[in-house]
Amino acid sequence: SGAKYAIMAGQITPKKLFKGMKPDLKALTILATLKRKNAETIFGAIAREMSKIGVEMLDARSFLDDSVAPKGFFCGKGWKLSAEDVEFEMHIARECARLDIGQGCVVSRGSVLAVEAFEGTDKMLERAGEFEAKDSIFAKTVKPNQDYRFDVPVIGERTVRKLTQAGIKNVAIEADNVIILQKDIVKNLAEVNGIKIFGV
């Protein structure tokens, strides 16, 4: 098509790496060169292959300035959680991201209920909801050296529905980095369900 730029958007189900994926010869060759197989290494390898044919991968936040999480309360006007609670929550999320485990976690009153791994955010929220813990906080952050061409953390309508099902009413997200898809829908749905979203 003569395209010189590309943007990654949407979700790839992680379990496809283990079951149901039918790679072609090029993909098999790329995967064989990787010692570690996670989002960053796989997408990084794809980006390198694309650059060889003259296609540059752009920041996944391109053209999405209005969708980046703002600082402060995105919805809700305050919560009874302390600054220490939020700081601890974000610390756990950032450490998980630093170790390349995942980009989210759920904490309640100083106890880590669940951390996001390869199963993704939805499954993590389902697990955390099983505890029916009070004052749970869901945090979403970025890796210390996040490559914004891919695997940029996102929350959206489905996330809010999962939070509602899990009984989690507090959300802390990395401002200026996490993308909120369809902001108006997310805000309205969160407010209807009493979910407060705060950009740290």
pLDDT at 10: 72
Output the pLDDT for position 18. 72
- In the predicted model, what is the mean pLDDT of the chain? 92
What pLDDT is stored for residue 13 in this prediction? Answer: 67
Would the pLDDT of 79 be above 90? Answer: no
Share above pLDDT 90 across residues of the chain, in percent, rounded to a whole number: 69
The lowest-confidence range among 9-13, 83-87, 149-153, 163-167 is 9-13
Whole-model pTM: value is 0.87
pLDDT tens-digit readout, 11-49: 666 667 677 778 899 989 988 999 988 778 888 999 999
Enumerate long-range contacts of 133-136, CB under 8 Å, 24 or more apart.
Answer: 133/108, 133/109, 134/108, 134/109, 135/80, 135/81, 135/85, 135/108, 135/109, 135/170, 136/106, 136/107, 136/108, 136/166, 136/167, 136/168, 136/169, 136/170
